[in-house]
Amino acid sequence: MVEVKELSKQFSLKAEVNYLNFYYGGKVHALKDIMMPVYDKKVTALIGPSGCGKTTLLRCFNRMHDLYPGNKYKGEITLEPDAVNLLSPKVDPIEVRMRISMVFQRPNPFPKSIYENVAYGLRVREETKKRVIDEKVETALRGAALWNEVKDRLQEPGTSLSGGQQQRLCIARALATDPEIVLFDEPTSALDPIATGSIEDLIGELKNQVTILIVTHNMQQAARVSDFTGFMYLGELVEFDYTNSIFHNPGKQQTADYIEGRFG
Ligand SMILES: Nc1ncnc2c1ncn2[C@@H]1O[C@H](COP(=O)(O)OP(=O)(O)O)[C@@H](O)[C@H]1O
Ligand SMILES: [Mg+2]
């Protein structure tokens, strides 16, 4: 396993997870002493068997767990370059969700027009200038490779689009606030192979502008889209390395067993 320190000399950090522990309702200890770097403008994949804590870790990054009482974080996720601890009670979760946006497993457009779906975060930010919103909506839809398909129907409901288009609409919504990190939780699990391919291609393009963290149970997908991979098991990060190393030369027996399909 390449030492994280070694990697950090070559790539700049966008975020760093430091001794992160997470508890659901004060009982379920779902994340245990997670230490993980997130490199700037790279794709980092989280893999591991169902229930190992991938979604839980992803949701710490934008403070989604704050929405339910009794959940508890210990440790830090620092966001660079300002080294702010995202988990600090002094940090406003709404602001965190502007800087770190999320795309969910199933496309979940709001019951609004295509345009308003993308404009949503800008309105939350109290942006009122139509010219600014128009421009950001177009940029986000272009970024999500959807503009050409919807530019003549921006006032139609988001739900009138196909599943793959709806997921790209959700990506546009996630991009509209110019986030620093976009979180993807199994973004293609509800999509057919063609729509999956276009989302994977899109992720490859997006990393030029934003840092990406993606959870997937599809190992081929992790191998195709990511630069770095973390393998999780029972709430721990067992191994973190270049994706290529994780898949071809894993450092831990547990990782090798998982990659070779011996469990999970
Ligand atoms: N809302 C919740 N309340 C209590 N336990 C939960 C909740 N969500 C997930 N868990 C538990 O936390 C662990 C990690 O779950 P999760 O992060 O969803 O795993 P993964 O995404 O890797 O499948 C599992 O044991 C799961 O049962
Ligand atoms: Mg999950």
In a domain, 174, yes or no: yes
CA distance 207 to 225: 10
Ligand 2: centre distance to CA 44 (Å): 15
Instruction: Give yes or no for residue 264 having a pLDDT over 80.
Output: no
What percent of the chain is predicted at pLDDT more than 90? Answer: 92
Q: Does the residue 264 lie in any domain?
A: no
- Domain assignment present for 91: yes
pLDDT band at 26; cut points 50, 70, 90: confident
Q: Which ligand is nearest to the CA of 53?
A: 1
Ligand closest to Cα of 28 equals 1
pLDDT of residue 4: 62
Asked whether residue 4 is assigned to any structural domain, the reply reads no
Q: Ligand 1 centre from 120 Cα, in Å?
A: 29
Contacts of 3 (CB under 8 A, 6+ apart): none
- Amino acid in position 209: Q
- Our count of domains for the chain comes to 1
pLDDT of residue 1: 46
Please check the confidence at residue 65 and state whether its pLDDT lies above 90.
yes
Tokens of 203: 């992720």
pLDDT(9) > 90 = no
Q: Which residues surround ligand 2, an ion (CB under 5 A)?
A: 55
Compute, in angstroms, the gap from residue 52 CA to the centroid of ligand 1. Answer: 7
Domain harbouring 200, CATH code: 3.40.50.300
Q: What is the rounded average pLDDT of the residues 39-66?
A: 97
Tokens 């767990």 belong to residue: 65
* Residue 2 pLDDT greater than 60, yes or no: no
Residue 240 domain-assigned (yes or no): yes
Task: With respect to residue 5, please indicate whether it lies within any of the assigned structural domains.
Answer: no
For 132-143, what is the mean pLDDT?
97
| CA angle (150 as vertex; 148, 154 as ends), nearest 5 | 140
C-beta of residue 246 within 8 angstroms of C-beta of residue 61:
no
How many angstroms does the Cα of residue 135 sit away from the middle of ligand 1?
Answer: 39
Instruction: Give 5 Cα–ligand 2 centroid separation in angstroms.
Output: 28
pTM over 0.85: yes
Residue pLDDT, tens place only, 167-190: 999 999 999 999 999 999 999 999
Secondary structure (3-state) at 114: helix
Q: For 157, which DSSP code?
A: B
- Give the tokens for residue 195: 């729509």
Q: Which atom in ligand 1 lies closest to the alpha carbon of residue 56?
A: 17
Mean pLDDT (the chain, rounded):
94
* 7 lies in some domain: no
Task: List own/partner pairs for 3-9 with CB under 8 A and 24 or more apart.
Answer: 4/35, 4/36, 4/37, 4/240, 7/37, 7/39, 7/228, 7/242, 8/37
For ligand 1, what atom is nearest to the CA of residue 57? Answer: 17
DSSP reduced 3-state for 212: strand
The pair of structure tokens assigned to 10 is: 């070559």
Q: Measured from the CA of 27, which atom of ligand 1 is nearest? A: 4
The sign of the CA dihedral 144, 150, 156, 160 is negative
In this prediction, residue 262 has a pLDDT band, given cuts at 50, 70 and 90, of: confident
Residues having CB within 6 Å of any atom of ligand 1: 24, 28, 30, 48, 50-56
User: For ligand 1, atom 1, which residue shows the shortest CA distance?
Assistant: 24
Q: Please indicate, yes or no, if residue 2 is contained in any of the structural domains.
A: no
Tens of pLDDT, residue by residue over 207-242, are: 999 999 999 989 999 999 999 999 999 999 999 999
Q: In this structure, are strands 72-79 and 13-24 parallel, antiparallel, or unpaired? A: antiparallel
Domain hosting 99: range is 13-259
User: Which of 29, 52, 237 has most ligand 1 atoms within 8 Å of its beta carbon, as the pocket-test mutant?
Assistant: 52
